[in-house]
A and B are shown apart, each in its own frame.
Chain A
Amino acid sequence: MVAAASTDTVLPSSGGTVLSVLKKPSVIPGFGLTLGFTLTYLGLIVLLPLAALTIKAGGLGWSGFWNAVLTPRVLSAFQVSFGLSLAAAAVNAVFGFIVAWVLVRYRFPGHRIVDALVDLPFALPTAVAGIALSALYAPNGWIGKLLMDWFGLKVAFTPIGIAIALTFIGLPFVVRTVQPILQDLPPEEEEAAASLGASRWQTFSRVVFPALLPALVTGFALAFARAVGEYGSVIFIAGNMPGISEIVPLLIVIKLEQYDYGGAAAVGTMMLVVSFFLLLILNLLQAWMRWRHAR
């Protein structure tokens, strides 16, 4: 406090009188310029357009909003989107954990290439992923034909296809959240557990896994959030049957194509609200786990 006060008297503050109330004094210039630019740009590109969404949805009125959202077609799209996103995130939680474990704990030929390849779903345009997956899982595709011949299972153009696409695009999240935590895990805890007579499985389930669980939940939540909003990779493989394999983002596009701006805004708002609440719950769960683990 004393140091800050003396700095204030010796060195000139860059901000004006209003800014100096908001920020601590500093010799570095450009606060007003960069903050002003940041806020203007943020306001124009992000906040104003998002406000347009709520204004359009609000323009429908309370009953108009619910009439637009509570139709069987919209409700089943929500069920498809959220249900399959949860399933895909769960698959990613299991396999992403294994991939992270293998990348951190074991060394094998091609280790670095595999590590770099994990980010492919971030880098590959979603439309490319979409057509590649549907070619692969179509009844005459490489994998689709095998599944059809062996199990009589149809994947492309069914909800299973949607889950496959959502698994693909959510794949890096769990790996990339668990990996750094596992890397930094102090070996002493495991050594202590082992030297106190714990079996390898006990050490894993009681010492290692609880330390990784918050990161795993974060990765799950990120994969889930990404999957709920995903459009490009899903629409090619989904079949897009209303009520069966129609996702919420596609329904928004359909409403827009019919010039039903109010309906599109209502469904969009509903989707943002529901995903916000689900993420809030997951964040609370995660905070609770951190707190329990730290105790």
Chain B
Amino acid sequence: MLAKARGHAPATGDSALVRALMIATALGFLLLFLVLPLASVFVEALRRGVGAYWAALVEPDALAAIQLTLTVAAIAVPMNLVFGIAASWCIAKFDFRGKDLLITLIDLPFSVSPVISGLIYVLLFGLHGLIGPFLKSQGIQIIFAVPGLVLATVFVTFPFVARELIPLMQEQGTEEEEAALVLGASGWQTFWRVTLPNIKWGLMYGVLLCNARAMGEFGAVSVVSGHIRGETNTMPLHVEILYNEYNFVAAFSVASVLALLALVTLVAKAVLEWRFGAELAATRH
């Protein structure tokens, strides 16, 4: 707007040529690295037509993988949701020593390689792990079974909800909660009626990102899964197996479902940012 008023080569704007070059470079880069890979997933999936695409999705192993992915996410996401609320409550509403250290530790899983995130559970619960032999004697199996998949997923998605809520709740302060408590509300009433409505969009944002990662995680679950078809294969692991068997159409068909999930996540995220940008201000990276 300002630039237009000052003519085509304003002192603090870029010339038309620079502008065109920059836009072309940026869009070219994004086309090459984002749009083409995304498009290729759907093109490869539909290469043999809709029939083959659908057949790959309703095949028993694929259905088992879809079900397992949904189950793992349905356990891991609520766990990290409760943790995120508890952590942000004590960090944002109180002042205590060691708070910065606690925040750093909560972010720690983001800086650990997914493979190491799986490895640590194998070292702990695996057959040659620290407490694996004891668990085996009790008949409890964690690695190469669903509990291991859940644990690895919880680890890699650990910080998502907490890191959205902490800055948001810190920004909101404690005055509204204090008012509610002084007026006689109980702690739970204060949380449900005052705090939760204030953080609901931030919470949804965190859950959205947490869920996308939980359903799409590959490295960590790959290490703990054991790749038992129909039993411990999540959707991303099923994609890998099909791909390695040169069953490309089926691999890309299952992958396209995950790509659709990613697109839905992006749209929902963008809508949350546009509609409730002001309320999410503290959490937007």
Contact = CB atoms under 8 A, between A and B. Distances in A.
Given A47-B105, A116-B270, A135 B40 contact: yes
A287 interface: no
Interface in B98-130: 98, 102, 105-106, 108-109, 111-116, 119-124, 126, 128-130
Contacts of A187: 12
A236 interface: yes
B150 to A, nearest CB: 11
Interface stretch (B18-26, B53-61, B198-206): B18-26
Interface string A13-28: 0000001001110111
Given A45-B154, A228-B113, A128 B216 contact: yes
A253 interface: yes
Nearest to A32: B90
Interface in A245-260: 248-250, 252-253, 256, 259
Nearest to B256: A128
Contacts of A39: 102
A158 interface: no
Interface in B20-68: 22-23, 25-27, 29-30, 32-38, 40-41, 44
Contacts of B267: 116
Nearest to A234: B219
A34 interface: yes
A24 B95 contact: yes
A127 B240 contact: yes
Contacts of B12: 187, 190-191, 194, 203
Interface in B235-272: 235-237, 239-240, 243, 248, 251-252, 255, 258-259, 262-263, 265-267, 269-270
A117 to B, nearest CB: 6
Given A38-B102, A136-B40, A131 B251 contact: yes
A284 interface: no
A98 B38 contact: no
Nearest to B108: A46
Interface residues of B, number: 101
Contacts of B284: 180
Most buried by B among A115, A129, A177: A129
Interface of A is mostly: helix
Most buried by B among A26, A38, A136, A252: A38
B37 A132 contact: yes
A165 B14 CA distance: 32
A34 B36 contact: no
Contacts, number: 294
Interface in B67-91: 82-83, 86-87, 89-91
Given A28-B93, A229-B115, A136 B26 contact: no
A120 interface: yes
A229 B112 contact: yes
Nearest to A20: B96
B124 A135 contact: no
A275 interface: yes
Given A22-B97, A168-B33, A259-B128, A252 B266 contact: no
Interface of A: 19, 22-24, 26-31, 33-35, 37-39, 41-42, 45-50, 52-53, 55-56, 95, 98-99, 101-103, 105-106, 108, 112, 114-129, 131-133, 135-136, 141-143, 164, 167-168, 171, 176-177, 180, 187, 190-191, 194-195, 200, 203, 225, 228-232, 236, 248-250, 252-253, 256, 259, 261, 264-265, 268, 271-272, 275, 279
19 contacts: A22-B96, A30-B89, A38-B91, A42-B87, A42-B106, A49-B123, A50-B112, A53-B119, A53-B123, A122-B212, A123-B266, A125-B216, A125-B218, A126-B236, A127-B240, A142-B40, A171-B33, A200-B14, A200-B18
5 tightest CB-CB pairs across the interface, nearest first?
A229-B113, A125-B216, A232-B218, A23-B96, A194-B11
